[in-house]
Amino acid sequence: MKKSVVTSHKVSEPIRASEPGSLLVLFRRVINRLRGSFSYGTPEFFAGANTYARLLQSKYVIKDYITRPKYKSIDYRQEFQQELTFVLPFAYWHFLNGTLANTISSKYTNELYFFSEQHEERYNKRVWRSQQESFNIPNMYHCRDVHFEKWAQVPLKEHYRNSLFTYQKPLLIIANKYNNEWGQGPINYFGIGTLDRILNKYRHKYQIVYNRPGANYIVMDNSDIYELNEEEHIRENFPDVLLAEDLYLKHREQVNNYNHFQLMLYANCERFLSVHGGTAALASYFGGKNIILSKRGHEHRYNEFQTIFPALSGAEIYHARNNGDVLDLLERHY
């Protein structure tokens, strides 16, 4: 039997101020503590980074409000949620302001930046964090007080509303994922048991479309996609429920890519059920109601489901912390 190994931890003796060099040691400890407090992901880091980014906007007062040349180049390749909540509205504000020169992002984003005269799909993979921090966007990190001065709602619903994806019953889109999250495996997702309960109860009232894009349809980041094996289960047990991938393949000649397809499908919907991350942010862009399953995340601490998510389109956002909350919110609001 393999023995478990316990690593011993030596407890350091307290430093007395009267000892030689003690002040230097204490100073070093304070510095190290401050460095830890301001490391990436801490409240201190987010507050400091956002404050600095907003102060940096003072450099552009003359260009943004007086001379207004087309000068602003926006280059972004990080997480999808940040792009939707902070970057895209910042780019659209510059478009409305007449100061947007060009935009650069990942593959399959041309339709998101439909307003940009020069958009380049430069990146084939997203990154969790850039090697060099960029502070060119006023809101780049989680925050309690979102800075809306250079932020504008992007009218994706109005731009992509169509007559292609219309049905006799109102749409209900279930936007799911089954990814590695924070290196701990899947956390925020609808399992087959939960899906069964939802589909059984609401498929007669709504035309349900189930959407969980595969890796071949989206730009990946550091979150690996796992197999949930739910699609075949839905096909066999709920033939009246539409699978988004099947719809996409059926209308492949009428859309540019999967993201374009999602925008058109979502634009015709008023009821969404989504999960934490970019999946929830995209579903919040189209008005109506959106129930978001989020079991953990910085969004909780900063009340972002009450601030930035509703601001994306004026949608009613309902935060579910567990599967029971999901079922309860569906009963009350759908």
**Cα distance between the two ends of the chain:** 55
Query: Bigger pLDDT: 160 or 140?
Result: 160
pLDDT of residue 16: 45
Averaged confidence pLDDT in the chain: 87
Task: Flag whether pLDDT at 109 surpasses 50.
Answer: yes
d(CA 212, CA 233): 14
pLDDT of residue 313: 98
Q: Work out the pLDDT band at 140, boundaries 50, 70, 90.
A: confident
Which residues touch 46 (CB under 8 Å, ≥6 apart)? 141, 142, 143, 298, 302
> Alpha carbon of 266 to those of 73, 134, 288, 314, 325: distances in Å?
28, 31, 11, 15, 23
Under 8 Å between Cβ of 284 and 301: no
Task: Flag whether pLDDT at 8 surpasses 70.
Answer: no
Instruction: Please state which architecture CATH assigns to domain 159-333.
Output: 3-Layer(aba) Sandwich (3.40)
d(CA 26, CA 10): 18
Task: Flag whether pLDDT at 14 surpasses 50.
Answer: no
Task: Flag whether pLDDT at 141 surpasses 70.
Answer: yes
pLDDT 10s digits, 270-327: 999 999 999 999 999 999 999 999 998 888 888 899 999 999 999 999 999 999 999 9
Task: Flag whether pLDDT at 133 surpasses 80.
Answer: no
Task: Flag whether pLDDT at 130 surpasses 70.
Answer: no
d(CA 304, CA 208): 27
Place of tokens 């058109």: 264
pLDDT 10s digits, 190-239: 999 999 999 999 999 999 999 999 888 888 776 788 899 999 999 999 99
Under 8 Å between Cβ of 202 and 208: yes
Place of tokens 């002040």: 23
d(CA 299, CA 186): 17
pTM (predicted TM-score): 0.85
Task: Flag whether pLDDT at 9 surpasses 90.
Answer: no
DSSP state of 225: B
Q: What percent of the chain has pLDDT over 70?
A: 85
- Lowest average pLDDT, out of 120-129, 140-149, 323-332, goes to 140-149
pLDDT of residue 256: 97
Place of tokens 């801490």: 42
pLDDT of residue 4: 36
d(CA 195, CA 201): 10
β-bridge mates for residue 174, sequence order: 210, 273
Q: β-strands 100-106, 242-243: how paired?
A: unpaired
> Alpha carbon of 304 to those of 149, 280, 320, 328, 334: distances in Å?
17, 12, 13, 21, 22
d(CA 212, CA 275): 11
Helix, strand and coil percent figures for the chain, each rounded to 5: 40, 15, 50
Task: Flag whether pLDDT at 122 surpasses 70.
Answer: yes
d(CA 280, CA 207): 20
Task: Flag whether pLDDT at 15 surpasses 80.
Answer: no
Joined tokens for residue 82 = 């940040």
pLDDT of residue 19: 46
Which residues touch 249 (CB under 8 Å, ≥6 apart)? none
Query: What is residue 106's three-state secondary structure?
Result: strand
Joined tokens for residue 179 = 């990814």
Under 8 Å between Cβ of 283 and 266: yes
pLDDT of residue 28: 57
Task: Flag whether pLDDT at 155 surpasses 90.
Answer: yes
Spans of all domains in the chain = 43-154, 159-333
pLDDT of residue 294: 97
pLDDT of residue 5: 35
